[in-house]
């Protein structure tokens, strides 16, 4: 008999969630229900349309509960949560709930983005959301041991070891990088960073490293790929202030979604950067871009974090640098002189991706968990 799984959340922005849905749809062992939240969002938000779609969402919410009633287990997708009715029904019916605890809402807005003050009612609400999700979950999935410890400490929840599982990041396979400088097809290395303009990444230190390289007359090109013109302005100003506009370029127009970023990295990038943030979170997490680089066979320079050291080893499949402009610049210059070592690091990092962060690795681990619940 098929096991019925009720999926909660938005799969659109998560490769991990899409991989799970694809697996469930092709498996004879499982049947699933998933309501795509985009389906009931109006394309043209006029007042009549908003009213119509709001009514449709209310009806759909109650209709979905009939699916929840017969579900063998509920699965909360990354960065998602149960709504009030789902939470009530779970408690009444004592349903099994598996949650992918990807990030903490409290940590994101209070500690990371600093858009919510810790002493406010909103901060307490965010903390409550995180705590309630942990409390109601029968099983919790974290990306690594370091993040499990970090997030549970932040939201003041302990004694969950019996219901926690470590299933690493899953990243979509990408084109293998040509590494033109490392393969001696180019005389100038191309250094790349991509992500969001938040303090976690320590982007100002990477720009500071570029200033040191230029002062030492080291030839290089550095590309910083973001997603927001507004949030990139302070970094653009920093580049101009340090007179780096001829070698450091900020681009907010390339994305993995349309393959433009992937194409550029595959053709040009020789070394990628991880994160260099000073926060406790910055020294704990394993950021997505490192896994994305590994999937392309691009060697990475990053600060050493607790999450990273669970999978990567210095000078074997990654290069660890001190989280200072001087430390980053030093490792870049050393790497430029060790092309053979860099090439080996690139090959070994891809093996780490294949064994721990590929779709196949994720599905193997998640299917084992689902089969035993």
- Six-digit token string for 157: 């929840």
What number is the average pLDDT over the span 142-158?
94
Domains 3-170+359-371 and 190-357 share a fold: yes
What sign results for the dihedral spanned by CA atoms 8, 12, 14, 20? Answer: positive
What number is the average pLDDT over the span 346-350?
97
Residue pLDDT, tens place only, 319-336? 999 999 999 999 999 999
What number is the average pLDDT over the span 242-256?
97
Interatomic CA distance for residues 98 and 6, integer angstroms: 10
Assigned CATH for 190-357: 3.40.50.2000
Interatomic CA distance for residues 200 and 211, integer angstroms: 21
- Six-digit token string for 199: 């303090």
Q: Could you tell me if 281 and 112 are in contact, meaning their C-beta atoms sit under 8 angstroms apart?
A: yes
pLDDT value for 51: 84
For 3-170+359-371, give the CATH class. alpha beta
Q: Could you tell me if 212 and 325 are in contact, meaning their C-beta atoms sit under 8 angstroms apart?
A: yes
Residue pLDDT, tens place only, 191-207? 999 999 988 899 999 99
pLDDT band for 16, please (50, 70, 90 cuts): very high
The alpha carbon of 115 is separated from its chain's Cα centroid by a whole number of angstroms, namely: 20
Question: Which residue's structure tokens are 């998560």?
Answer: 14
Paired with 301 in beta bridges are 273, 319
What sign results for the dihedral spanned by CA atoms 352, 354, 358, 360? Answer: negative
Q: Could you tell me if 136 and 92 are in contact, meaning their C-beta atoms sit under 8 angstroms apart?
A: no
Q: Could you tell me if 305 and 283 are in contact, meaning their C-beta atoms sit under 8 angstroms apart?
A: yes
Out of 5-14, 25-34, 36-45, 112-121, pick the least confident. 36-45
Q: Could you tell me if 275 and 293 are in contact, meaning their C-beta atoms sit under 8 angstroms apart?
A: no
Whether the pTM exceeds 0.85: the reply is yes
Q: Left if phi > 0, otherwise alpha if psi is -120 to 50, otherwise beta: which for 206?
A: alpha
Interatomic CA distance for residues 10 and 7, integer angstroms: 9
What number is the average pLDDT over the span 267-291?
95
Residue pLDDT, tens place only, 160-219? 878 999 999 999 889 999 999 999 999 999 999 999 998 889 999 999 999 999 999 999
pLDDT band for 235, please (50, 70, 90 cuts): very high
- Six-digit token string for 190: 């191309």
Q: Starting from the edge strand earliest in sequence, which strands make up the sheet with 300-302, in order? A: 248-251, 221-225, 190-194, 271-273, 300-302, 319-320
- Give the up-direction half-sphere exposure of residue 18: CA atoms within 13 A in the CB hemisphere: 6
pLDDT band for 1, please (50, 70, 90 cuts): confident
Which residue intervals of 70-220 are DSSP H helices?
84-93, 105-106, 121-136, 145-154, 203-215
Q: In the predicted model, is pLDDT for residue 259 greater than 90?
A: yes
Interatomic CA distance for residues 214 and 192, integer angstroms: 16
Residue ranges per domain, the chain?
A: 3-170+359-371, 190-357
Closest to 89 (Cα-Cα) out of 57, 59, 64? 64
Interatomic CA distance for residues 229 and 221, integer angstroms: 21
Closest to 152 (Cα-Cα) out of 160, 143, 144? 160
């Amino acid at each position: 008999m098929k096991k019925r799984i009720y999926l909660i959340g938005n799969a659109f922005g998560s490769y991990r969630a899409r991989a799970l849905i694809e697996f469930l749809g092709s498996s004879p062992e499982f049947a699933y229900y998933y309501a795509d939240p985009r389906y009931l969002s109006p394309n043209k938000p006029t007042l009549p349309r908003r009213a119509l779609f709001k009514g449709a969402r209310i009806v759909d919410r109650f209709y979905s509960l009939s699916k929840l009633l017969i579900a063998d287990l509920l699965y909360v997708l990354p960065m998602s949560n149960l709504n009030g009715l789902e939470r009530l029904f779970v408690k009444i019916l004592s349903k099994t709930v598996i949650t992918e605890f990807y990030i903490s809402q409290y940590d994101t807005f209070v500690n990371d983005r600093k858009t919510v003050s810790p002493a406010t009612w909103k901060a307490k609400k965010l903390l409550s959301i995180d705590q309630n999700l942990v409390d109601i979950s029968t099983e919790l999935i974290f990306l690594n041991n370091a993040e499990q410890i970090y997030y549970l400490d932040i939201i003041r929840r302990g004694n969950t070891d019996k219901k926690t599982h470590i299933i690493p990041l899953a990243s979509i396979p990408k084109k293998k990088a040509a590494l033109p400088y490392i393969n001696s097809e180019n005389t100038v290395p191309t250094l790349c960073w991509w992500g969001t303009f938040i303090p976690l990444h320590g982007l100002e230190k990477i720009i500071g490293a570029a200033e040191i390289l230029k002062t030492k007359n080291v030839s290089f090109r550095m590309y910083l790929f973001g997603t927001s013109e507004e949030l990139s302005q302070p970094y653009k100003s920093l580049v101009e202030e340090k007179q780096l506009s001829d070698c450091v370029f900020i681009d907010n127009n390339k994305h993995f979604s349309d393959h433009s970023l992937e194409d550029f990295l595959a053709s040009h990038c020789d070394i990628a950067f991880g994160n260099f943030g000073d926060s406790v979170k910055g020294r704990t997490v394993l950021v997505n871009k490192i896994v994305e680089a590994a999937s392309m066979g691009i060697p990475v320079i990053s600060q050493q974090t607790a999450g990273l050291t669970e999978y990567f080893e210095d000078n074997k499949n990654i290069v660890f640098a001190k989280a200072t402009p001087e430390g980053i610049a030093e490792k870049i210059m050393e790497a430029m002189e060790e092309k053979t070592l860099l090439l080996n690091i690139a090959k070994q990092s891809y093996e780490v991706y294949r064994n721990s962060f590929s779709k196949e690795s994720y599905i193997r681990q998640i299917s084992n968990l689902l089969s035993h619940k």
